[in-house]
Structure 1
Amino acid sequence: MSAKVSRLSDVARTAEVSVATVSRFLNNRLQLPEETAARIRRAVAEHEYTPNPHARNLSLGRSETIALVVPDIANPYFARLAAAVEREAGQQGYALTLCASLNTLQREREYIARLSGSAVDGIIFVSNHADDGTLRDPINASSRRVVILDEDVGGVVGPRVFSDNELGGYLAGRHLIEMGHRSIAFFGGPQAMRSTEARLAGIRRAIAESNQHVVIRDEFFGAYSPEHGRACASRFLSSGSEATALLVSSDEIMIGALEIFRREGIRLPSQLSVIGFDDIAPFVLFDPPLTSIRQPVEMMGRRAVDLLIRSLRGEDLDRVIEYLPVELILRGSVSHPRAGKRLPPSADNQKEGNEHDEIDA
């Protein structure tokens, strides 16, 4: 049988004072005459009483727990982001509650409502949807401090942390242009999302600065998913595109696209130069290893935790927006375009493709 756990009331009874007096004294919120203080200390020792830090925090209106909402913990990108948040939270003395919205806008809204009424001190929120106001309004009305991470939610008042998506598109576009490509395709995420807009804007900036006649031949938009990647690649090949290079806007899209390219016998980079975005998946092990834009995922997680905890401590950070630098990782999937090399149309789908397609994959 386990030993009886001493309670605050046991200490108060032995010391002949009230429970409130003992609690305030042990929390350094009450100064007592030395005789009374000595009685309480002796009673604490006699009962081997250990204060409950969780009860103390709750009495002070805090739990030293923060929540992280991510779209999908099975996605390696979000798994690594969650690990970074967990490490940094632990180092700063906070526990982490992890919530997965399963890539649904409804669950994102539900988690904001539930967590706002829970014991967590603050929320780090990662969305995977273009917001129509149904996220902005409950976040701004939340009783908890919220930091927006990775994907912007327009109109939210509070700290925000992103990778520099525009810089990523720019670095990829500039490299392809320097390698001699003048016709580029883009496999993007949802067209209305800020990350997609910024990556495409970066390519356009690189084109504008090049003083070369460069065109974005094809643009495809849809979910950040392998299914979308397969749909993009199939439509791209069936269109008989003249693009000699391609920027794929996430590792998840890349996984699906490579499946189709392999099935159709497309050789990288001799027939098509490819740059990815994220650099989380082990594409370094592929043949050829893939050139990619690397997002600073660990740094993003650390900065989000730091801003949230500083905000909880009273700093006014509502207007803070941080864009963390990305980097171009050169490997083997980009080469100079070869004269006369055209992509063969897909054997499975000869339907004419359209530029600027939003694909429902």
Structure 2
Amino acid sequence: MSTIQDVAAAAKVSATTVSRYLNNRLELPAETAGRIDAAIAELDYRPNALAKRLSLGRSEAIGLVTPEIANPFFAELAAAVEDEAEKHGYAVLMTSTGGRREREIASLRRLRDRHVDGLIMMTNQPDDGTLAAAVNRQGHVVLIDEDIPGVNVPKVFVENRQGAYLATSHLLKAGHRHIVHIGGPSDLFSAMERRAGYLDALAEAEVAPPPTRHGAYSRDFGLEAMRAILDSGQVPTAVFAGSDFIAIGVMQAIKERGLRVPEDISLVGFDDMPFADLLAPGLTTVRQPAAELGRAGLRALLDLFEKKTPAALTRLPVTLVERQSVAAPRR
């Protein structure tokens, strides 16, 4: 592959002259410009687009950091970011961290080294201050979905607390008074907000809350937690699961014991994953606007690029989607 030095040698000028000519930063005599054009054509020279962009201080790429891509929620969000970024002339470089802190830090180094112009960042684990310090050392970062305490960047979240309130209120209106909450990690932002919304609804109805259980947003944790609840002998009439994946595990544990949803135990989830309406019964759940989360995150990042001031915090609304997993409790 020909280099700019090859073109310069063939045209009998300096590489700097060729570079400035190609970037329209230098007017040359027609004869000199003709020699450069002829050399470019003869050598089939193609400028290094990435090097050119970096020399101008930009990569025309953004980074998207996600805990995992197999999860339908993150996949839908990533697709929306990519689609919206393309409209504005940006490529998207995606990193799936698998919940590993070192990969999250590595993505921030790519921003420092100018491989990307900015980052849209999601995490799914509590921070000990390491990630917050790394984010605060960078510019052009937007957090979405989960918070990192102590980080001073634009943030886009959903109304977790309101969603949990809607879910719990729906169960209360159906007549339930023994409602257990099985949520995500106890010190994770979204899980704390969803627990708070659950407690808000119970307090409003003057219902004493049973102990809550917290762990990973996963089917395995939902299964394990619900088995333990059923083994305790304190069988609830309803469960509010902090995610649809937890709800799947809860449903499996209920069926293992020969019980049924919703005849014996009602169930509400959170997320509205694409599979939620395919379960038997269809899962009543709180719908998060995954695609809009991605688009809003990108808009905030573009505002940073253009030196505008995006909102410090943007909250997107959630809705309750009623299906067949809730019924009145048995007398």
User: Considering the TM-score relative to the shorter chain, is it more than 0.5?
Assistant: yes
State the AA in 2 paired with 1:329: V
Question: In the aligned structure 1, how far is the partner of 2:252 from the partner of 2:307?
Answer: 50
Paired residues for 1:301-312 under 5 Å: 301-312=294-305
State which of 237, 262, 285 in structure 2 corresponds to 1:244.
237
TM-aligned CA deviation for residue 110 of structure 1: 4.3
Shift of 1:170: 1.5
How far the C-alpha of 1:14 sits from its partner, in A, is 5.8
User: What amino acid is aligned across from residue 136 of structure 2 in structure 1?
Assistant: N
C-alpha distance after superposition, 1:67-92 (max 9, x if no partner): 22222223232233222222222332
Q: Which residue of 1 aligns with 2:290?
A: 297
Equivalent residue in structure 2 for 1:147, among 142, 151, 154: 142
8 A contact 1:188–1:249 mirrored in 2: yes
Residue 130 of structure 2 aligns to a residue whose secondary structure is coil
Aligned residues: 330
Counterpart in the other structure of 1:355: none
Match among 251, 255, 262 for residue 258 of structure 1: 251
Cα distance between partner residues in 2 of 1:301 and 1:246: 30
1:286 corresponds in structure 2 to: 279
User: Which 5+ residue runs of structure 1 have no aligned equivalent?
Assistant: 340-361
Is contact 1:72–1:101 with CA below 8 Å preserved after alignment? Answer: yes
3-state SS of the aligned residue for 1:288?
A: coil
Structure 2 residues not aligned, in runs of 5+: none
Partner of 2:177: 182
1:291-320, Cα deviation, whole Å (9 max, x unpaired) = 111111111111212222331232233x52
What SS class does the counterpart of residue 216 from structure 1 fall into?
coil
> Is the alpha carbon distance of 1:60 and 1:233 closer, same or farther for their aligned partners in structure 2, counting shifts above 3 Å?
same
Once the two structures are overlaid, the 10-residue window that deviates more, 250-259 or 157-166, is 250-259
Q: Which of 144, 160, 163 lines up with 1:168 in the alignment?
A: 163
Aligned 8 A contact 1:293 1:327 in 2: yes
Letter of the 2:56 counterpart: L
Match of 1:69 in 2: 65
Preserved contact between residue 244 and residue 272 of structure 2 (Cα < 8 Å) = yes
SS of the aligned residue for 1:120 comes to coil
Supply the RMSD in Å over aligned alpha carbons.
Answer: 2.5
Deviations 1:321-346 (A, max 9, x none): 1111111111111112221xxxxxxx
In the other structure, the counterpart of 1:22 is: 18
Change (3 A) 1:59 1:106: closer
What residue in structure 2 maps to residue 269 of structure 1?
A: 262
Match of 1:330 in 2: 322
Deviates more, 1:265-274 or 1:37-46: 37-46
Query: Which position in structure 2 is the counterpart of 1:205?
Result: 200
Determine whether 1:84 maps to 2:76. Answer: no
- 1:101-180 superposed matches below 5 A: 101-113=97-109, 115-117=111-113, 119-142=115-138, 144-180=139-175
What SS does the aligned partner of 2:179 have? strand
* Preserved CA contact (<8 Å) 1:169 1:203: yes
* Cα distance change of structure 1 residues 56 and 110 upon mapping to structure 2, 3 Å threshold: closer
- Once the two structures are TM-superposed, the CA of residue 38 in structure 1 deviates from its matched residue by 5.4
Tell me by how many angstroms 1:227 deviates. 1.9
Note if contact 2:285-2:320 (Cα within 8 Å) is conserved in structure 1.
Answer: yes
Q: How far has the Cα of 1:152 moved from its partner?
A: 0.3
